[in-house]
Amino acid sequence: MRVGQERPCTKSEPPLTLVSEAASHPLPFPFMPKAQDKPLWIVRRSSIHQRGVFAACDIPKDRPIIEYVGEKITKKESTRRGLALEEKAKKTGGAAVYIFTLNARYDLDGATAANPARLINHSCDPNCESFIIRGHIWIYSLREIKAGEELSFNYGFDLETWEDHPCRCGEPCCVGYILDKQYWPKLRGILKARAKRQGKIKELENKLSDLKKTLTPKAPKKPKPVA
> What is the number of other CB atoms lying within 10 angstroms of the CB of residue 139?
22
**132, 27 contact by CB (below 8 A):** yes
Closest to 99 in 3D by CA, of 195, 226, 4, 199: 4
Q: What's the pLDDT score for residue 68?
A: 95
Q: Which residues of the chain have pLDDT under 70?
A: 1-31, 37, 93-95, 218-223, 225-227
State pTM to two decimals: 0.74
CA gap 117, 135 in Å, rounded: 16
Q: What's the pLDDT score for residue 82?
A: 82
Which CATH superfamily, name and number, covers 16-179? Answer: SET domain (2.170.270.10)
Q: What's the pLDDT score for residue 45?
A: 96
Three-state secondary structure call for residue 11: coil
Q: What's the pLDDT score for residue 66?
A: 95
Quote the DSSP letter at residue 2. Answer: -
CA-CA-CA-CA torsion sign (79, 49, 174, 154): negative
Strands 106-109 and 71-74: antiparallel
CA gap 196, 211 in Å, rounded: 23
Q: What's the pLDDT score for residue 15?
A: 31
42 phi/psi in degrees, rounded to 5: -150, 145
Quote the DSSP letter at residue 221. Answer: P
CA gap 54, 46 in Å, rounded: 9
Domain residue extents for the chain: 16-179
